Structures are given as structure tokens and as C-alpha cells.
Amino acid sequence: MSNRKFVCNVCQQGFTRLYNLTRHQESVHQPGHKSIEKLFRCEQCSKQFTRNTYLKKHVQTQHTLTQKPEAGEDLEKKQETEPNPGSVPTLSTQIKQIQQELTMLKNQKANVLQVICVTSDDNYLDMLTQKIGNFEQAVEYLKDCALSDVSGDCRLIERIYLDTKSHQYGFSINGNRNQIVYYNEHQEQITEPRETFGKKIANNLQKTYLRGINHLITRNLTNRMNPNKFLEEYDMATWNDHIYHLSDSGYQKQLLNQLNIPCQ
């Protein structure tokens, strides 16, 4: 460890005695001294030195960390840290990408919604109410279908399973016309014999017509309307016969034949 505890504040040279430091300062750094031939000035702090080596040492020890980079070095660092404008998407480009992604999501959602499922528990009265937007109007529509035999069944099936935008059913028939392809409630594609599918649709129609006629009977009783008037208006016998005929396999085949089911 150095025992030079007296350091020159100009050139940082150390001395063991104060006398030696004072003599050094008077002989080396005193302005106007005869030994001073040339002064070297620090550009950072304006201190002056008699020797260039003193100046360099001063700069290295005092100003190395704060020294400004040269113009060329500064430009290189700027190029390294700043991203290339061509490689970074602009705000308008990012907005366009987001809009495209949103459009894709909307189309995917629309495609899912367009897949009309067919199940053995489809309640056509509820589905019809959702499409029309009014329960009583749905009942009136159901009544007309129930009193119109096969043509009424086809009209109701089309209203339930026909997509109004694509004009396609929620099911299709294969090339041999002996199997029906549709999607169940789990969005799974199902292929089953034509007869099985016809029975499924007929069973849904029966349950729907029964619910419709029960609603009409309850409504008339609640409103204390004349039962004879009810029979005259809605022809209960025809309605019940229609429900009965839907259990017949021949009637079910006729129903499928009259539906304009698209081929795959």
C-alpha cells in the first residue's frame, strides 16, 4: 500500500511529505513559472497540465466513463438499438391484422351457428317460437301445419331445419338415398338409415303437435270458452288423426320423399 498521502490536485502525483508536494506545485504548476513551456488543457473540465502524459492520465481516471462517443460510434449504437422501420409493423398494419383476425373469428362463429343440429328431443314449438319471436304466433303456425297433413309437416320441417341464408337443410342424403347425414347436439356428424331418421323426425312432430293441442285446450278452458266452439275452430279429430298417422312407417317414408333433401 502506498504511503504517499499528499497528492497533487492537478496531476494526481503523490508525495510522502507536504514539503515535497508544495515544491512540486510551485515548480511545475505555478502560473508564469519559467519551467512552464506549454499547458495542456482538459476539454472536459478545463484543468491545465504541463505534460501531455499528465493530461492523458487525468482523462483516463476522471472522464473515461462520461466521455462522449465519437460521431461514428454514436451512429453505430443508434443503428443497433433502433429497429429497422421495415421490420416493425406500423400502427395501421397492426390495426389491419387485428381486423382480419376479428373477421376470421366472426366467420368461424357464423359457420358454427349455421350447423343446425337434429336430435330425438327437438321441441319444434320452442324452436319455432325462437324463430318467429312470439309464442302465440308460433302456436297458430303449428295449428295450420297440424291440420294440413304431410304438406303441413314438410312446411314445419323446412321452417325449423332450413337455413334462410344458405337455403340448405341441416341434414343431407347420400348418393344412394338410403342414409341421412346430420349433426347431433355435440356437433358430431351422424350417418343413419333413412328409416331411422324418418322415425326420429316423426316422433318430434308428434310430441310438438301434442304440446300444441294441449296448449290450445288449456287456453280455451282458462278463458272459459265453449268446448264446442273449440272443436269447430281447430277440428280436434283431424289433429288427433294426424298425430296417429305419424307413427306409420309408410307415412314417414312419404314425408321424407316430399322433403327436398339435398344430396351430399
Q: What are the boundaries of each domain within the chain?
A: 6-62, 113-258
* Rounded mean pLDDT for each run of 10 residues along the chain, 264 residues in total: 70 78 73 53 77 80 63 55 58 75 60 65 90 90 90 92 76 87 87 92 93 82 61 71 92 91 81
Residue 234: its pLDDT value, please?
A: 55
Residue 37: its pLDDT value, please?
A: 47
Residue 216: its pLDDT value, please?
A: 80
Residue with cell 490536485: 9
Residue 113: its pLDDT value, please?
A: 42
Residue 192: its pLDDT value, please?
A: 92
Residue 36: its pLDDT value, please?
A: 43
Q: Which residues pair with 16 in a beta bridge?
A: none
Give the dihedral of Cα atoms 173, 149, 209, 259; nearest 10 deg: 10
Residue with cell 296417429: 244
Residue 38: its pLDDT value, please?
A: 53
The pTM score is 0.54
